[in-house]
Amino acid sequence: MKKIVFMGTPDFSVPILRSLVEDGYNIALVVTQPDRPKGRKKIMTPPPVKLEAINHNIPVFQPEKLADNYQEIIDLQPDIIVTAAYGQLLPKPLLTKPEFGCINVHASLLPELRGGAPIHHAILQGKTDTGITIMYMVEKLDAGDILTQEKVAITDNDNVGTMHDKLAKTGADLLLNTLPRLFRNEIIPVQQDHEKSTFASNIKREQEIINWNRSNKEIYNQIRGLYPWPVAFTFYQGKPMKIWSAELDNNEYNGVPGEIVDSINKESLVVVCGNKQAVKLTEIQVAGKKRMTVKAFLLGSPDRLQVGTKLGGTLD
């Protein structure tokens, strides 16, 4: 039985680790990020993968900086290291130690969307498909040779949450398909076409702000491409207002970008975009309030967010 060290951190990694355990693989160690303070009370919270490892009685190692603290992994002499959204680059001595190398489960069709937020960027860019790539890890980010790939469709109703779950399952299944063939030396790795590479860097605060001068399709992609985290927002009366969900409205309107031009049955707010078409906001969160449907908000605050209200603004 091959000895595996698994490295991962967020929810995306959990079904991948679980599938390895349930398939009978020998997981000698789980490496994950340290516990971090979370929430308003700053309670120290373990990463999801740590909880999954504990459930299966797998030892856990949580170095703050892997580049300075990896000898424990080398001492285990793993046959292979499997990573999935671990969150740190592996130092060169680790990359070269295991007999079957270090492989990564990445949530894109490489060489497209290298980096830490490939699911977000696939939707933000309006792509109709993305996928999973299992590849060898190298010193350069997500640039190793490809072992296997599988495409996953993105529907118009998908968001980061739904695609996260689909890709995590696909990643788990593809890994279980890949490992036996890798151990039998049946896979011929394929070099990436580096000239076609694109990057999906972590989402910055300014990327969450809705620019109503963009087309309704672009804004709709932004809203679902940032849901359920970190969530797109606009400004209402100078304060941030989160947009949790919306629908496309391809009718044409005469308002200016960011203007509310209709409130259909008081269940949605029709906001004009730069191409004169609109998005219908259906779930919002104004400053100081809880997340709620537009219908609930308008019932509680009928004099706010009326037809003619202008949304929008920028960070100071």
Peptide bond into 240 cis (omega under 30): no
Q: Domains of the chain (ranges plus CATH)?
A: 3-196 (3.40.50.170), 205-310 (3.10.25.10)
- For residue 299, give the amino acid letter: L
Task: Kindly indicate the confidence band of residue 303, based on its pLDDT and cuts at 50, 70 and 90.
Answer: low
Average pLDDT, the chain: 95
99 CB-contact burial (10 Å; exposed 0-12 / middle 13-18 / buried 19+): exposed
Kindly give the pairing relationship between strand 3-8 and strand 26-31: parallel
Q: Report how far residue 141's alpha carbon sits from residue 219's, in angstroms, rounded to the nearest whole number.
A: 30
Can you say which residues are annotated as belonging to the binding site for (6S)-5,6,7,8-tetrahydrofolate?
Answer: 108-111
Whether 165 has a pLDDT exceeding 80, the answer reads yes
Q: How large is the C-alpha radius of gyration of the chain?
A: 23
pLDDT at 302: 65
Q: What is the pLDDT of residues 219-261, one digit of tens each?
A: 999 999 999 999 999 999 999 999 999 999 999 999 999 999 9
Average pLDDT over residues 35-55: 94
Two tokens, residue 3: 């000895």
pTM across the whole model? 0.94
pLDDT at 215: 98
Q: What is the pLDDT of residues 108-156, one digit of tens each?
A: 999 999 999 999 999 999 999 999 999 999 999 999 999 999 999 999 9
Residue 171's closest CA among 3, 24, 8? 8
Query: Is residue 164 a contact partner of residue 12, using CB atoms and an 8 Å limit?
Result: yes
Share of the chain above pLDDT 70, in %: 99
pLDDT at 307: 92
Share of the chain above pLDDT 90, in %: 92
pLDDT at 190: 98
Whether 78 has a pLDDT exceeding 70, the answer reads yes
Can you say which residues are annotated as belonging to the binding site?
Answer: 108-111
Q: Report how far residue 219's alpha carbon sits from residue 203's, in angstroms, rounded to the nearest whole number.
A: 16
Whether 314 has a pLDDT exceeding 90, the answer reads no
